[in-house]
Amino acid sequence: MTDTGRIHIYYGDGKGKTTAAMGLIMRAAGYGRKILVYQFLKDNSSGERAVLEALPTVTCLPGRDRVKFYNQMNSEEKAEAAHYNNKALDEIVKFCSPFDMLLLDEALCAVALGLLNEDKLLSFLEHKPKEQEVILTGREASDRIIQAADYATKMHKIKHPYDIGIKARPGIEY
């Protein structure tokens, strides 16, 4: 392992951000690296979790049992979600140091929606364990987060079945 872990971001309006992060996790797991995964704004039912949880070097932290889409939350639910997400990041920061890799899936989206404090996230990135790789995903990435990243990949949608009214399918979109 190298002596310096890097920060990776996958963002944009295109499909494949979480999928790319999962591919990187699979590669790292194949080399025996210890990986910690947390998914903001998602419940514990995404298809990739079952596979990740079966890998001996991957630890998936449980999220909330039910998660509403942002546009379905009232102001009280948004405030509660922000409190929950910021507390979750605080807890992750406390015990992530033994892991070689950390995925904070949808952290960028949580920041963009005001459901995760950007300064808190950037402070963690600045002070993360030196050798740890950190992966962040989400639709939007601020200039500050892009600046903090070593890898920044923007996924851009050209065409998607959702555009013609086809709903997300299990095993493909989630």
Per the CB < 8 A criterion, the answer to whether 134 and 102 are in contact is yes
Per the CB < 8 A criterion, the answer to whether 135 and 167 are in contact is no
pTM: 0.92
DSSP string, 44-59: TT-HHHHHHHHSTTEE
Q: What is the pLDDT of residue 136?
A: 98
Q: Distance (Å, rounded) from C-alpha 68 to C-alpha 81?
A: 10
pLDDT in tens, 128-174: 999 999 999 999 999 999 999 999 999 999 998 888 898 888 888 87
pLDDT in tens, 3-27: 789 999 999 998 999 999 999 999 9
